[in-house]
């Protein structure tokens, strides 16, 4: 590849490379935004899935709350029955029938105990609970705290689930009895009779409430917040739910219970749907469009800039770019003291080439001269076409006289080599004038005038020495 094509490629590829980098940045930024939006969409899908799970769990919670409230209501019923006979001697036969009816109506109730003055006097059914009859709750460190709380609060207190001696786990419902001495006596003024205890089978209560380990694909668990962190914290369901990103619903229960209903999908929360891939597809397409537009725009800007600063025929710098670099070097010279050189090259008798061989041959000659000048210069030098057949070579740094003279000779020898194109041989002649900054002029404009004057002086001297061409001879540029 010749130097002319190489430099043209450099100017175009540098713009294309910059445009490519900008396009990639725009595309990646768009992809990043798309990924962020996609993550937001996924989060929204998870949130929606959680809302749906909460809706499903709400029904299970309502059934559980209803079942426990129903069981406690049974306790209130038996308390009302006990109140009728509170002033009479205690007899178990009086309560056997109502106890049988309650247990028959609610199979989750395992047994009912009656403890006037906190001493267990009767249990239904008697077996296997007979050994507990006569137990003084005040003497039981395990059972007294709940009964004392019921006495003080005058409210139902529910303890457990507790592991029973006879097997299984049960809730223990303590219902304090405060019979009124007269009609409408305030509760706070009533005397304490004793406590009625309902032992409620946990598994039976959960079954009666319709609780399931899995509800619409949601693994469920009921936990006791009062026992958080212990082995007894899980009342129902799988312990594994506690290790997942579960949703939780508080279970509103009487008796001081602090339960939560937890749920987590067997396959995890769904975070993918049509919305996600549509977002990714649209975002990727928009990113691609913006990246392409950025590439085309930046590349076009570089092309316009290159056209504004370079000669369209030769690809060399034009006068505007040359003067910009000269002004930059002049400014640097004021700080560093290092000047620069310019060499004004003008082809002699270029017009006969166009007249005799056509402008296409003349254009090829100008392109060839530009390439020859570039071959004799460094990468830091600038070769510019400033007129029809006029070129200027700009070299940073001042040259010594011998160095400058040698460089002029190299330029002249290279430029004046014969040019062959399409079997046409053209002898080339050129006049070159040089000038140094700041030695020959204190301004860029004056420096150009000095170099131009010296070039024309050499051209006039050459005309005095050249021989007259014959009519049949090949026209020369000299």
> By the 8 A CB rule, do 276 and 347 touch?
no
pLDDT digits (tens, 9 = 90+) for 6-51: 444 444 446 777 777 887 888 788 788 877 777 777 777 777 878 8
* Architecture label for domain 85-208: 2-Layer Sandwich (3.30)
pLDDT digits (tens, 9 = 90+) for 186-233: 888 888 888 988 888 878 888 888 888 887 788 888 888 776 666 567
Euclidean distance between CA atoms 119 and 151, whole angstroms: 14
pLDDT tier at 469, thresholds 50, 70, 90: very low
**CA dist list (Å): 101 to 125, 156, 224:** 12, 21, 30
Residues 6+ apart with CB under 8 A from 339: 329, 333, 397, 398, 436, 437, 438, 439
Identify the pLDDT of residue 43. Answer: 76
Q: Average of pLDDT values for 386-391?
A: 91
Residues 6+ apart with CB under 8 A from 425: 418, 419, 474
Q: Average of pLDDT values for 455-473?
A: 68
The per-residue pLDDT of the chain, averaged, comes to: 81
> By the 8 A CB rule, do 393 and 434 touch?
no
Q: Which is higher by pLDDT, 291 or 134?
A: 134
Type and span of the H or E element at 110: strand 109-116
Whether the pLDDT of residue 60 is over 60: the answer is: yes
Local structure of 15: helix, strand or coil = helix
* Architecture label for domain 310-465: 2-Layer Sandwich (3.30)
382-385 vs 419-421, strand pairing mode: unpaired
pLDDT tier at 258, thresholds 50, 70, 90: confident
Whether the pLDDT of residue 474 is over 70: the answer is: no
Whether the pLDDT of residue 151 is over 80: the answer is: yes
Per CATH, 85-208 and 310-465 having the same topology is answered no
Identify the pLDDT of residue 478. Answer: 42
Identify the pLDDT of residue 248. Answer: 85
Angle at 223 between CA 217 and CA 225, to 5 degrees: 145
Transcribe 373-406 into DSSP letters. HHHTS-TTSEEEE-SSSEEEEEEESPPPHHHHHH
Identify the pLDDT of residue 229. Answer: 60
Question: What is the pTM (predicted TM-score) of this model?
Answer: 0.52
Q: For the chain, which residues make up each domain, given as ranges?
A: 85-208, 310-465
Q: Which is higher by pLDDT, 140 or 324?
A: 324
pLDDT tier at 477, thresholds 50, 70, 90: very low
Using a pLDDT cut of 90, give the percent of the chain over it: 22
Q: Average of pLDDT values for 298-318?
A: 78
Q: Which is higher by pLDDT, 143 or 417?
A: 417
Q: Average of pLDDT values for 140-149?
A: 85
């Amino acid at each position: 590849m010749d130097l002319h094509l190489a430099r043209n490629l450099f100017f175009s590829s540098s713009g294309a490379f910059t445009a490519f980098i900008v396009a990639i940045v725009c595309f990646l930024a768009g992809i990043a935004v798309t990924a962020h939006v996609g993550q937001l969409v996924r989060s929204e899908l998870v949130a929606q899935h959680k809302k749906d799970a909460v809706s499903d769990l709400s029904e299970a919670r309502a059934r559980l709350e209803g079942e426990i409230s129903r069981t406690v209501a049974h306790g209130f019923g038996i308390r009302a029955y006990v109140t009728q006979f509170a002033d009479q001697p205690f007899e178990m036969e009086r309560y056997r029938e109502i106890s049988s009816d309650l247990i028959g109506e609610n199979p989750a109730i395992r047994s009912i105990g009656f403890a006037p003055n906190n001493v267990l006097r009767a249990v239904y059914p008697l077996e296997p609970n007979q050994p507990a009859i006569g137990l003084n709750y005040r003497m039981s460190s395990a059972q007294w705290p709940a009964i004392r709380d019921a006495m003080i609060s005058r409210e139902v207190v529910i303890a457990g689930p507790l592991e029973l001696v006879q097997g299984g786990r049960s809730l223990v419902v303590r219902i304090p009895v405060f019979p009124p001495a007269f009609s409408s006596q305030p509760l706070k003024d009533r005397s304490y009779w004793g406590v009625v205890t309902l032992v409620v089978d946990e598994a039976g209560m959960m079954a009666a409430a319709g609780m399931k380990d899995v509800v619409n694909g949601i693994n469920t668990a009921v936990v006791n917040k009062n026992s958080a962190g212990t082995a007894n914290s899980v009342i129902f369901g799988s312990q594994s739910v506690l290790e997942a990103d579960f949703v939780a619903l508080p279970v509103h229960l009487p008796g001081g219970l602090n339960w939560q209903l937890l749920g987590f999908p067997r396959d995890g929360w769904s975070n993918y749907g049509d919305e996600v891939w549509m977002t990714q597809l649209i975002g990727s397409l928009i990113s691609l469009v913006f990246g392409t537009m950025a590439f085309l725009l930046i590349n076009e800007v570089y092309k316009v800039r290159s056209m504004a600063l370079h000669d369209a025929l030769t690809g060399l710098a034009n006068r505007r770019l040359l003067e910009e670099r000269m002004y930059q070097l002049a400014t640097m010279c004021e700080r560093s003291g290092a000047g620069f050189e310019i060499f004004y090259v003008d082809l002699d008798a270029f017009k006969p080439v166009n007249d005799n061989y056509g402008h296409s041959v003349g254009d090829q000659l100008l392109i060839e001269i530009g390439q020859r000048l570039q071959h004799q210069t460094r990468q830091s030098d600038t070769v510019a076409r400033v007129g029809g057949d006029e070129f200027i070579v700009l070299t940073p740094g001042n040259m010594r006289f011998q160095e400058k003279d040698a460089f002029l000779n190299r330029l002249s020898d290279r430029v004046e080599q014969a040019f062959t194109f399409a079997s046409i041989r053209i002898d080339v002649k050129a006049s070159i004038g040089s000038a140094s900054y700041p030695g020959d002029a204190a301004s860029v404009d004056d420096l150009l005038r000095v170099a131009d004057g010296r070039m024309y002086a050499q051209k006039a001297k050459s005309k005095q020495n050249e021989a007259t061409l014959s009519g049949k001879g090949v026209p020369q540029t000299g």
